[in-house]
Amino acid sequence: MGVEPAITGLLDRWKSGDRSVENELVRWIYPTLRELARSQMRRQGQALTLQATELANEAYARLVQQQGVDWKNRDHFAAISATVLRRVLVDYLRERSAEKRGAGAERITLDGARAGEIPGAGDHFDWLALDQALNDLARADPDAARVVELRLFSGLEVEQIAAVCHSSTATVGRQWRFARNWLAQQLQLDTPQ
Amino acid sequence: MTPTAVDPQRLRRLRALFDDCIELPAATRRAHLDQATRDDPSLVAEVLALVAAEERAAGLEPERVHAHIDASLRQLLPDAVVPGMVVGAYTLEAEIGSGGMGRVFSAHRSDPGIDQRVAIKLVRREVLGASALQRFRAEQALLARLRHPGICQFLDTGTLADDVPYFVMELLDGAEPLLVFADRHALPLDARIALFRKVLAAVQYAHQSLVVHRDLKNSNVLVLPDGQPKLVDFGIAKSIAESVVDARTATAERFLSLASAAPEQLGGGPVGVGCDVYSLGILLYELLSGRPPFDAATSSIPELIERIVHQAPVSMATAAQALDDAALTARHLSRRHLGRSLSGDLGDIVLRCLRKSPGERYPSVEALDADLERLQQGLPISLRGSDRVYRLRRFVARHRLAVALGAALALSLVAAAWIVSLQNIRIRAERDQAEQALAILREAFLSADPARMGGELVSASDLLRATLPQLEAHRAQQPLAFATLAATIAEVMLELGLSAEADEVLDRVVAVQAQTPLPEDLRARVGILKARSLVAASALDEADAWLGAEPPAAPELRTSWLIERGRWLVRSGRVEDALAVLGQASATRSESAADDALLAAGRRAEVDALLRLDRLADADATLALLERHQSALPPLHTQHLLTRMLRIVILRRQGRHDDALALARQVQEGLESDFGTDSPISARGRVLVGNLQLVRGDARAALAEYEAAWKTQRSRLGESHPETLRTHVNRLEAMQALAAPRTVLDREYEQLYRHAVARHGAAATFTAFVLRLWAESLLAAAEPQRAAELLRSQRAGTALSQASESERNAHRKLLARLP
């Protein structure tokens, strides 16, 4: 089919640094990831833990199987699916809060994510506020915002993040160091003394 | 929730200050912040709060942080290296530079009695792995070897307490990057070139010491206030011997700078002197034109890579158009004279540095420097000779020969496979020999590689000719291999328009055939090729015999045969029959690829036939069909040129002389670059241009084209080859238009007559045609008496005895106007 070359081409371009194709890629992956995330949440009931790594792996396997897409590199897939997972999560929470009319933040945690490294972020977290703050950060420092997204929504290690961002571990470290503290400040999280 | 709108600019500033403070000792933070935030003191508290949060987090709840995160975090700890620290005999002052792997500090002797300031480079802790350490030590070892006024001097080396290595270098006080220096001093072009040559001297010295820098760029060429440039950062440099062997170590490449990296560095190819020459070209380009040839700021990474690897840079003159008036004035340039200042030899020199393939660049920095020196002295640069080689190389790489060599190899493999299939010991011996012959052929092609011939001009036909004696030596021992390869060479020669030479080669194959039976397909192929060379030489009866009555069965050969038969029919005056046969040929290939040479040849023969029938509209349509079919080919493909030669004829017939001439000039240029100036094909292009100039009344220009074409044809095809004869006729026409002296014209006609007789015989249409032209020229020169004598002579009588009906009529009509 025509699907495969298109998506492979997009991923190649994205891999080599072309962010302009990101939206299109996200559109390809979104439905699969959303479905998987929902079934994960349904299985768990009240306290939700989204397993970012597992979700990415499942989505990866499914897309390879369904569309015969050759992603070539799991790290790159995990990186793009971090963007998707963030949108899935935010969309889900918006829908839910619309349904329940201000039922407040869901108790959702991200397994394997480093929310715990954001000072004051406990098991539950105002993801919508975080999403907004991340958007603000992205306007000033898109690279740092991207690093946060990857730290929170993918199972990638610092070295892998540096590689997919065409950056260095030192730079990624500095970006994360600032961003986590700034985000904590923005979200007015209780900083334990 | 989120506070009100975040100001991106303020946020960026916040981050920069935060990063600063984290690195600073706690005691000095406040002072730094106060100084840096005078305009916006509200930042101070925010930054300090963030820093405090960070420091609490760093020591907080370690059990929550997984072991692997911990490990990665440890890597991210701020470097412990700070100003004031004592390193060996020195005390660090301030960070003055930082690269991918290392940080550079200014420092002074800790001993107050010694007044010495130095630069100290330390490896970054976060990249401190075995490979980084190795590279760092390698740089140190390379640098210790180099001692040159243009290279930052290595002084000492050592390790910190925790085994972090460092080395001490000369401190370049007040130095600034090359481009900054040149612009700040508003250096004119010649001063820029002089400054650049000092850089070259340093690079040249490094190369002589067997070191390639591999990361030559603006920020690594620092110029001291006195104008002495210094090369710094040999961080990814390599010894030349090592770099050739160990070209594919990807780790170091991560640190190189994309915009000045040579294509082979991006592609992972071998990296050597050529890569420094390329980077120097990039630097010189920007130093002169004010713009980088490939701008990292305006393109995405994949685009940039694509452009570096595939696209030629725009000319410096064009790039400099984008400079503003101030920048131009600073260079002592005027907008109107940009082209004159930046193109020509200077432009050629820079572009030669920037060629995609290292073999096409200057072979050494010395050669580049020598050209710049000659340019400064107003002497001709070395480029002319090498530029021809470049064009030939381009030809060899992109066009026929590459194809021909590929075809030759493929055919030999077919031959070898055929021999193997017979499974016979005697034949197997021959197979081994066939492979040997193949090796010889490859060797012959390679030894004629212009790059290896030291700038000597080698034409395509020279190349082919060079292979023949090598092949000839094997004719007796391996007749089959010889026949296969010789036939291929003859075919390529025919495509190059060298029909006379091709015919000789084919005769040698035919001689083999008399002793050794050749396979059916090879025999058929030789027959078709023989017919093609004979048709080109107007030997129609012989060509007919070689073609035979029936086409061979193999599809490719069948199409070739049909096309050849079609051409034969055209030349025999049976143009309608020819169209039918050529139509069959095209029908067998109409679905083929855009670069199918057979389809193109067939279509072109069709167009030629239609033109002979004066069916201009049909010719136009058929050619348009071919043009559409070939539209998928790259713009410089040779097939376009051959097709356009017919388009020129059609434009001329349509009376669009200016369009035709413009296209003819363009085609002519392409033909020369692809086939060489001395090829018969280029001569055809020249004749086309000449014809159009004659039509427009510029006989002088036309004559120059004809003369050049005629010279090529005489030496390549022979004095009496039909193409040579036709150009001779054109030449005389132009000479007459220019009122050449009668005696000169008569001598020329006499010569033309002899060559016509030599080719076609005393009794032939063409011979009669020559005599008639001669008579017409006499009549035009008001010598009707001599014209009449010529037409009534014995010569004319003999010529007319075998001439065509129309030629006889023409003679009769002319006679009627004479006394």
pLDDT band at B307 (very low <50, low <70, confident <90, very high): low
Q: Is the pLDDT of residue B668 over 90?
A: no
User: How far does the CA of residue B6 sit from the closest CA of chain A (Å)?
Assistant: 6
pLDDT of residue B471: 66
What is the mean predicted confidence (pLDDT) over B553-564?
Answer: 89
Pairing label, strands A48-51, A108-111: parallel
Residue B418 has pLDDT above 70, yes or no: no
Q: Which of B430, B135, B297, B375 is nearest to B121 (CA)?
A: B135
Looking at CA atoms only, how far is residue A94 from chain B in angstroms? 15
Mean pLDDT score across all residues of chain B: 76
Mean per-residue pLDDT, B330-341: 72
Q: Which residue has the higher pLDDT, B556 or B136?
A: B556
Q: Look at residue B218 and tell me whether its pLDDT is greater than 80.
A: yes
| Average pLDDT score over residue span B289-302 | 69
State mean pLDDT over A82-99: 75
Q: Which of the pair, B301 or B608, is modelled with greater confidence?
A: B608
How many residues can be counted in chain B?
819
Question: Residue B263's pLDDT band (boundaries 50, 70, 90)?
Answer: low
Confirm if B641 and B674 have CB atoms less than 8 A apart.
yes
Q: Kindly give, in sequence order, each residue whose CB lies less than 8 Å from that of residue B105, ignoring residues fewer than 6 positions away.
A: B81, B83, B92, B93, B94, B95, B96, B119, B120, B121, B122
The neighbouring-strand residues paired with A107 are none
Instruction: Please give the pLDDT value at position B681.
Output: 82
ipTM exceeding 0.85?
no
* Measured torsion, CA atoms of residues A165, A166, A170, A171, in degrees rounded to the nearest 10: -60
Lowest mean pLDDT among B327-331, B473-477, B614-618: B473-477
**In this complex, do A132 and B2 lie within 8 Å of one another by their Cβ atoms?**
yes
What pLDDT sits at residue A123?
47
How confident is the model over B367-380, as a mean pLDDT? Answer: 81
Is B433 a residue whose pLDDT tops 70? no
Cβ distance A157 to B67 under 8 Å?
no
**Do B728 and B755 form a contact (C-beta atoms < 8 A)?**
yes
Q: Provide the pLDDT for residue A128.
A: 79
Pairing mode, if any, of strands B238-239 and B221-223? Answer: unpaired
Task: List phi, psi (to 5°) of B96.
Answer: -115, -5
**What is the mean predicted confidence (pLDDT) over B319-323?**
79
Where is average pLDDT lowest: B65-79, B340-354, B650-664?
Answer: B65-79
The answer to whether A180 contacts chain B (CB < 8 Å) is yes
Q: Within an 8 Å CB–CB cutoff, is residue B633 touching chain A?
A: no
Q: Decide which of B684 and A77 is more confident.
A: B684
In this model, does residue A28 exceed pLDDT 90?
no
CB contact under 8 A, B76 and A133: no
Is pLDDT of B223 > 90?
A: yes
Whether B431 shows a pLDDT value over 50: the answer reads no
Question: Does the beta carbon of A66 lie under 8 angstroms from any beta carbon of chain B?
Answer: no
Question: What does A25-80 look like in DSSP terms, one character per residue?
Answer: HHHHHHHHHHHHHHHHHHHH-SSEEEEHHHHHHHHHHHHHHHH------HHHHHHH
B546, B534 in Cβ contact below 8 A? yes
Does residue A126 belong to the interface with chain B, where contact is any CB pair within 8 Å? yes
CA torsion through residues A30, A31, A33, A37, sign: positive
**C-alpha–C-alpha distance, residues B582 and B604, integer Å:** 10
| pLDDT for position A46 | 47
Look at A137 and B11 and tell me if their CB atoms are within 8 Å: yes
| Confidence check: pLDDT of B252 > 50 | no
Which of A16, A170, A180 faces B124 most closely, judged by CB atoms? A170
| Greatest mean pLDDT among B46-50, B324-328, B794-798 | B794-798
Asked whether the predicted pLDDT for residue B401 surpasses 70, the reply is no
For B689, counting Cβ atoms within 10 Å of its Cβ (0-12 exposed, 13-18 middle, 19+ buried), the class is buried
Q: Answer whether B57 sits within 8 Å of A180, measured CB to CB.
A: yes
pLDDT value of residue B19: 86
- Indicate if the pLDDT at residue A2 is higher than 50: no
* Average confidence (pLDDT) over B46-69: 55
- Contact status, residue B705 vs residue B690, Cβ threshold 8 Å: yes
CB contact under 8 A, B126 and A169: yes
Q: Which chain B residue lies closest to A136 (C-alpha atoms)? A: B6
- Cβ distance B425 to B431 under 8 Å? no
| pLDDT at A115 (0 to 100) | 53
Tens-digit pLDDT profile for residues B155-178: 888 887 666 778 888 998 888 899
| Residue B284 banded pLDDT, cuts 50, 70, 90 | very high
Cβ contact B53–A114 (<8 Å): no
Which one of A93, A97, A180, A182 would you mutate to disrupt binding with B, by most B Cβ within 10 Å of its Cβ?
Answer: A182
**Using CB atoms, which residue from B2, B10, B53 is nearest to A191?**
B53
pLDDT-above-70 percentage for chain B: 73
DSSP letter at B243 equals: H
Whether B790 and B749 have beta carbons less than 8 Å apart is answered as no
Q: Could you give the count of Cα atoms lying within 13 Å of B96 in the half-sphere of its Cβ?
A: 22
Enclosing H/E stretch for B478:
none
Give A17 to chain B, closest Cα distance, Å: 6
- The pLDDT assigned to B728 comes to 94
pLDDT in tens, B760-783: 899 988 999 999 999 999 998 889
Per-residue model confidence as pLDDT tens digits over A30-47 = 777 777 777 766 665 544
> In Å, how far is B73's CA from the nearest CA of chain A?
7
Q: What is the DSSP letter of A154?
A: S
Is the pLDDT higher at B59 or at A184? A184
B299: confidence class by pLDDT, cuts 50, 70, 90: low
Name which of A129, A173, A185 is nearest B75 (Cβ-Cβ).
Answer: A173
Residue appearing with tokens 């530079």: B97
* Termini Cα distance of chain B: 115
**Residue A92 clears pLDDT 80, i.e. is over it:** no
Domain boundaries, chain A: 3-186
Q: Which residue of A has its CA nearest to B67?
A: A157
Query: Is the pLDDT score of B272 beyond 90?
Result: no
Average pLDDT for B147-157: 88
Query: Is B305 an 8 Å CB contact of chain A?
Result: yes
| Chain B residues touching residue A185 (CB < 8 angstroms) | 46, 49-50, 53
Give the pLDDT band (50/70/90) at residue B293: confident
Tokens of B208: 């002589």
Residues of A within 8 A of B55 (CB-CB) are none
Q: Binning pLDDT at 50, 70 and 90, where does residue B197 land?
A: very high
> What interhelical angle do B555-571 and B540-547 show, nearest 10?
160
Predicted pLDDT of residue B321: 78
pLDDT for res A102:
44
Amino acid B315: pLDDT: 78
Does residue B233 or residue B64 have the better pLDDT? B233
Nearest to B69 among A114, A139, A168 (CB): A114
Question: Chain B contact for A93, CB < 8 A?
Answer: no
The 10s digit of each residue's pLDDT in A151-186 is: 877 777 888 888 888 888 888 888 888 888 888 778
CB contact under 8 Å between A132 and B1, yes or no, is yes
| B403-412 residue pLDDT tens | 334 334 334 4
Q: Going along chain A, which residue ranges are E strands?
A: 48-51, 108-111
Torsion region of B655: left, alpha or beta (phi above 0 gives left; psi -120 to 50 gives alpha): left
Beta carbons within 10 angstroms of residue B79's beta carbon? 14
Assess contact for B200 and B372: CB atoms under 8 A: yes
B11: nearest CB among A141, A169, A193: A141
Which of A19 and B316 is assigned the larger pLDDT? B316
pLDDT at B235: 63
User: B720-744 pLDDT, tens per residue?
Assistant: 888 899 999 999 999 999 988 999 9
pLDDT at A70: 61
**Phi and psi at residue B120, in whole multiples of 5°?**
-125, 130
